Amino acid sequence: MRIPIGLFGILKEAARHLLRRPVVGIAALARTEDGRVVLIRRGDTGEWALPGGTLEWGETLRTSIARELLEEAGVVLLSLAERPSVYSNPERDLRFHAVTIVVRATVSAPSRPPSNPMEILEVGLFEPDALPTPLAHHMTDMVGHALGGGGYWE
């Protein structure tokens, strides 16, 4: 029996987190040049979320967020704002303890589908005052802080 490539990626990611140490994640409040917010609908929960993921070995945060935005949302990173927010409450994500850095980004419009359709079901563009709630993994407050200018520490 062959394991689908999408499932292999999910299993590999889960195995990395079994060490029970906090992992570093990065997510973006990504907005197109016309101001719409890019969200992804997750395959595991069916909920909408900020695009992002965990830092790969040898990557910088800038490289990681550019990769995640392209893989998950099919968008190209155009620019990053200077005031990120940092979240570290272990209760945020029941899968593992993550330290998540949220950045504000300007991106292109989506130009391709998500790389892993089992992980990301769809990509949506939303006006800032019409975002779906609640967002996955307690991201609703992350979005609020980012829309307010960023610079939040947990």
Residue/partner pairs of 16-24 with CB below 8 Å, 24 or more apart: 16/54, 17/54, 17/95, 17/96, 20/96, 20/97, 21/97, 22/88, 22/90, 22/96, 22/97, 22/98, 22/99, 23/54, 23/55, 23/96, 23/97, 23/98, 23/99, 24/54, 24/55, 24/98, 24/99, 24/101
Q: From 145, 95, 140, 98, select the one nearest 119 (Cα to Cα).
A: 95
CATH number reported for the structural domain that contains residue 128 in this entry? 3.90.79.10
The answer to the question of residue 16 being in a domain is yes
The answer to the question of residue 152 being in a domain is no
What is the value of pTM for the model shown? 0.85
Which element (helix H / strand E) includes 140? helix 140-147
Give the count of domains, the chain: 1
The answer to the question of residue 45 being in a domain is yes
The answer to the question of residue 76 being in a domain is yes
Of all residues in the chain, the percent with pLDDT exceeding 90 is: 76
Residue 108 is part of which domain span? 5-147
The answer to the question of residue 154 being in a domain is no
- Using one digit for the tens of pLDDT, what is the confidence trace for 19-44? 678 889 999 999 999 999 999 999 99
Query: Which of 18-42 are b and which e, b meaning 16 or more Cβ less than 10 Å from the residue's Cβ?
Result: eeeeebebbbbbbbbeeebbbbbbb
pLDDT of residue 21: 81
- Using one digit for the tens of pLDDT, what is the confidence trace for 51-101? 999 999 999 999 999 999 999 999 999 999 999 999 999 888 777 788 999
